[in-house]
Chain A
């Protein structure tokens, strides 16, 4: 029996010894070019991914009244939801499709969540850099949620926003198996404001790249958001803050008239972002809406610089602040001037509003331009709204403006489009101003 005791002893000693594993032996990553984002370099590189992060949605462009298209033009719209959205259809999305306008902002939120999560585990001494990266993550998360809110949620100041049925998924951690919560309009805006407050604290004043978030960008984004919420005091506050930074408006007289006349990252650009690109962004059948085009005055330089008249008479938009065929939708100083002007007007400072407006318009007209004057608040507001439409054409901002001004009887507008003899309309208080959550996403609940 002794023999067997020895055997058992020997075997157990053997196995116990072998069960003691080496520390960290299995933690080595299997392939060199897999970047495990556990260094500031990697996290900064992830947030420098402009192709995914510095992007905005195109649905606002499709559904607003910046452009029109023809039957032939509509025929090449793929996927089908673009066509349905153009015609303001009730349920534009097909049952199984993944809609990029929905998934893209959530990808931005996901990137931000990954970075914030990884930052918890990094012990790096470079505090300013770490703060800049963290702040940038907050910024992009807020940017993603804000863009989602303009399309898939009611306008903040609309009575529908209190309806809790209008909600979108919200998630603050990166794990894919962690379930998301549904956030109402208030909850989403609260998250946006929280994130931007964090970003404001952490980010540097300026950066060498127009794609990397800075305090300046946060402030100008806040100005935009508060305007859309009809919080005019806060909008004015942040517009002022933004205008404190050294800046200048381009004099359109000095810009050569050709296709894509503006340089990328020109002096007015604060935050560079472009829309998701589809065929419709660049195809010649995307025509400037005729009444809009006609509303530019004879001495208005924007008429020449923003648009190109083709040989066959088509008039296309070619004045993107991205400097090329991409459709700019980021933040720029011309927008800030208009926010400042409108906020002042709404708060009663008509003179201030007119000054801001003219500061901008002088740079957009030929010399000898007659500055705008009025003493009627309705006329002033109407003019500002009109100038927003003309100055910020093809920026995706008109949709947010419409959702906001449609609550005001003075400025409500019924949108109309005609295709193949059939007329389509969008009433000011239509529920089709809010897009439904794509059916595929609803199927997961």
Chain B
């Protein structure tokens, strides 16, 4: 590593000497910067012609230019699409640097969109790739603690996945192309990939976000770009910007969670079911089971009555009381609250000719919906950018520190539906814990710890905290060797230290139960406690760091004002390590800070059930990850007359994740793109459409999978049950020297347009993403040692369309109405997957787990065909040999994967949003309506197996079939006589429970009022914005009759309202 840095530095020295050697005649530097008149933003890519128009130069990403001229008078011409060309007469040598301001030629509002790929900044209309640019105003539209939330419903092609098990797949850009490998888009901050927790990024520090969607945009990121790339550009002061201070404060209040959201059967009905089960003797086994399992208060009352401990009257009184209770009321009263999020931030930024800087600090404090739970975060940021040596040497240093913590002091108890947490007077009551009340009562006086579970006494006693400190230090050095050619070295050091501290106090039921369970009764009758009296402290420590070093050359040249060349090429090396260690201490006393060693190897008899033996849970574990990457990349674009553009990009990644063969001989990822600005052609004279551009790109992005290794891998099994103490290992994977990254072949065709005066503009894109060499399973002959091997064996295809349209409907001096419309269509399919699995697995795939079936969407919804209810007994019916039947095992046995009803994708195939923004003088009102169409989900219903096992069931019970004739009005089966696994499986996975997910949602509203010094010159500050944001307003339309929200099945999305103030001093 050190060797390399030395080499690169030596090289820079060489280059410097070459350039000084090149100066032959007496010429003088002409330097300056080009800005836009409106916002004083820098204008990269502006063309400056001089001399007899034989020579030209273009401004770089900071709008700066420098060229050399001999002494004398010179006329400069400065040109840029969308701006009036400017002429400037100067005398060389000039006294001071030029500052040239360009004025828009009235064509459009957002003529200059600079997109960032993380390697370079490009004007959007010079680029061939598919970019979505989220500017600062849109980044700040939504109020949230986290940055990625701000992309929801404002980024065409990007969707937040809401199906239940999507923890691993929260965001998809243009659909999910991979099956089992990494699904996260690559996040780039300050030009480097960010591997830390996304909650660490403070949205107030973000200037803009660029989302890269196709191969030409993203292939420069190579093997990690397959799922799309999100490039986050942080704020920095501007050149010659006087010091400016900005402060932002807001508070968000969210409604209390709705505990009644999921429909549940009435308690009275449930009690009746329990009574029936008791009379049938269903609870006999549990009553006498050695494990002393819990039984509901109703069942215990029936037992007591049967045994003569409770009179008939007393029993009936109890039952009446049960009917009127609801645990949810107590939970609501004692545990749930509005969650409140507060956000504060301040920043100081500015710049001189040679120096730009920003310092910012942010503080977030969130309290959760459950009392005594919450999180907070502090961020500190300092960035400085200097120019030395006549602006040839650029130095950039940025440091970013985040400290966040999450805490939990109270947990919500779980109990029976009619449990009561407190009596009339408000005194805390015990409820049933893990063991039956009879058993607990029988152990009184035995010397054990109190075995009662009193939830209200446990409020606030937990101590579960997570603290996380994240550092990022970025340094870069750039040197201009000759005009147009820059050499740069960039380095990022990242470190993340996290500590999870979970103290389960002695006072908690869980701890007392644990100690009691392991208590041993010695022969002389005394008690010994292998788990000592005290709390349990669990510690999880994570340390991670990475070093990223990049050396690159950038070249930009404009020839005769017509030919524009931009190239960047470089080499990157990355090394990162993560280590996670967990330990647990028992007998922990927080006050004096001691714990007691315990015996983790002996198998102790359980106090409750002496024929069961267990070892004390050790809670120890270790994990380590090492990342090594070497990459080479080149990206070049050529533009002719601003009319034709060509781009080419290629990158080769080598990593310790890949096999030896791949590292040695693997083919690099590449992309090529072409763009044609039709509106610049001589033949083009459609005045109503002054801008029309056609683009086509084709190329390959890659994707990696951390879970697979190219080496033979084995995993240790720590617990040898046959011969204790002798660890053994299982072979997980045979060696695979050909293990390589997944490839996404993406072809994209796009049309960008803009009408006269920018009243309507937008783009339409069509793309095809083919996933090749995807990680998946392939069948092998068993004689090779494994009948199923995971490697690069699968293929998928995704086709789609992204449309984004923006229209300025009304524009007056004081009033403006703008609409932004997004539409995306994503249709995916598994093209090749040789392994098939059981029908049960395919049925279960609707919940979001990937169970690929060739020819079908990646996540599909299947079901058994539904034939209605049997008119005689209300049993659900399916089809067997074409006839309605209640032979469930027959139906299930006869149905193969091809026989299942295929409904469609579990993920929306059409989605988007419509955002309307109204402005009147200083007021602004913005409303966003999102829609999701073309998908299905499986809804919950009554589960009789569960109900007949004594668990309260779904509200559909109310509408069940009860007598002949009901089958014409309901699809909900009647209660069976006994538990029937086959019937339950059939009903649960039948077509009757599959619903369309299509809906239109009124997502949010933002209102703001801006006081501007420009309008009111006497104000003591530059700008003040008072804003309010209301989120999750509600569903406007849904296709299904289901009461619940199609995307939120277990809890309702909570409405929230926020108020804030942003002040620029």
**A interface residues, Cβ below 8 angstroms from B:** 2-3, 6-7, 9-11, 13-15, 17-19, 21-22, 25-37, 42, 45-46, 48-52, 96, 98-99, 102-103, 106-107, 109-111, 113-114, 118, 168-169, 171, 174-176, 178, 180, 209, 211, 272, 438, 440-441, 444
Contact = CB atoms under 8 A, between A and B. Distances in A.
B3 to A, nearest CB: 8
Quick one: which of A18, A51, A107 has the most chain B CB within 10 A? Answer: A18
Interface stretch (B655-663, B899-907, B925-933, B968-976): B655-663
B786 A107 contact: yes
Contacts of B781: 169, 180, 441, 444
A66 B179 CA distance: 48
Contacts of A103: 782, 787
A316 B723 CA distance: 27
B571 A26 contact: no
Contacts of A174: 712, 734-735, 785
Contact of B783 (A17, A48, A211, A441): A441
B993 interface: no
Contacts of B732: 34
A48 B716 contact: no
Contact of A32 (B22, B622, B657, B663): B622
A46 B732 CA distance: 11
A13 B551 CA distance: 13
Quick one: which of B8, B730, B780, B836 has the most chain A CB within 10 A? Answer: B730
Given A7-B482, A36-B713, A17 B784 contact: no
A437 to B, nearest CB: 9
B715 interface: yes
A32 B655 CA distance: 16
B425 interface: no
A174 B22 CA distance: 61
A33 B783 contact: no
B727 A45 contact: yes
Contacts of A37: 712, 714, 729, 731
Contacts of A102: 782
Interface string B119-148: 000000000000000000000000000000
B636 to A, nearest CB: 12
A110 B783 CA distance: 8
Contacts of B622: 32-33
B15 interface: yes
Nearest to A47: B728
A211 B734 contact: no
B626 A46 contact: no
Contacts of B21: 6
A33 B716 contact: yes
B1037 interface: no
15 contacts: A10-B11, A10-B481, A14-B487, A15-B571, A26-B658, A27-B656, A33-B622, A34-B732, A98-B788, A99-B782, A118-B712, A176-B780, A180-B783, A211-B723, A440-B779
A46 B728 CA distance: 6
B782 A98 contact: yes
Contacts of B736: 176
B269 to A, nearest CB: 36
Contacts of A111: 731, 785
A166 to B, nearest CB: 15
A33 B624 contact: yes
Given A13-B14, A46-B731, A30 B656 contact: yes
A364 to B, nearest CB: 27
Contacts of A18: 4, 8, 551, 571, 632
Contact of A30 (B571, B627, B789): B627
A99 B783 CA distance: 11
Nearest to B22: A3
Contact of A49 (B571, B730, B836): B730
A32 B624 contact: yes
A26 B655 contact: yes
A441 B713 contact: no
B628 interface: yes
What range describes how many residues of B lie at the interface?
A: 35 or more
A438 B782 CA distance: 10
A118 B788 CA distance: 22
The 3 closest A-B pairs by CB, nearest first: A110-B785, A32-B624, A169-B783
Contact of B722 (A3, A98, A211): A211
A170 to B, nearest CB: 8
A265 to B, nearest CB: 9
Contacts of A113: 785
B785 A26 contact: no
A346 B911 CA distance: 83
Nearest to A174: B734
Quick one: which of B626, B663, B729, B730 has the most chain A CB within 10 A? Answer: B729
Nearest to A53: B728
B485 interface: yes
B715 A21 contact: no
Contacts of B789: 176
A17 B7 contact: yes
A111 B784 CA distance: 11
B57 to A, nearest CB: 15
A31 B709 contact: yes
B723 A6 contact: no
Contacts of B726: 48, 209
Quick one: which of A14, A37, A98 has the most chain B CB within 10 A? Answer: A14
A32 B735 contact: no
A3 to B, nearest CB: 6
Given A45-B729, A176-B734, A31 B785 contact: no
A176 B786 contact: yes
Given A51-B728, A438-B782, A441-B783, 6 more contacts: A32-B625, A45-B727, A107-B785, A110-B734, A176-B734, A440-B779
Contacts of A28: 626, 628, 656
B813 interface: no
B630 interface: yes
A110 B632 contact: no
Given A10-B18, A30-B626, A110-B784, A175 B735 contact: yes
B711 interface: yes
Given A11-B553, A32-B622, A175-B734, A49 B711 contact: no
Quick one: which of B18, B627, B785 has the most chain A CB within 10 A? Answer: B785
A334 B69 CA distance: 104
Interface in B621-670: 622-628, 630, 632, 654-658, 663
A36 B754 CA distance: 58
B709 A176 contact: no
A3 B579 contact: no
A440 B780 CA distance: 10
B630 A26 contact: yes
B712 A441 contact: no
B487 to A, nearest CB: 8
B682 interface: no
Quick one: which of B628, B720, B784, B786 has the most chain A CB within 10 A? Answer: B784
Contact of A110 (B657, B709, B786): B786
Interface string B591-628: 00000000000000000000000000000001111111
B1 interface: yes
A106 B782 CA distance: 7
Given A13-B14, A106-B782, A114 B623 contact: no
B784 A180 contact: yes
Given A31-B625, A176-B786, A14 B11 contact: yes
Nearest to A96: B836
Contacts of B722: 50-51, 211, 272
Interface in B532-575: 551, 553, 555, 569, 571, 575
Quick one: which of A10, A169, A209 has the most chain B CB within 10 A? Answer: A10
A10 to B, nearest CB: 5
Interface in B7-30: 7-8, 11, 14-15, 18-19, 21-22
B1014 interface: no
B333 interface: no
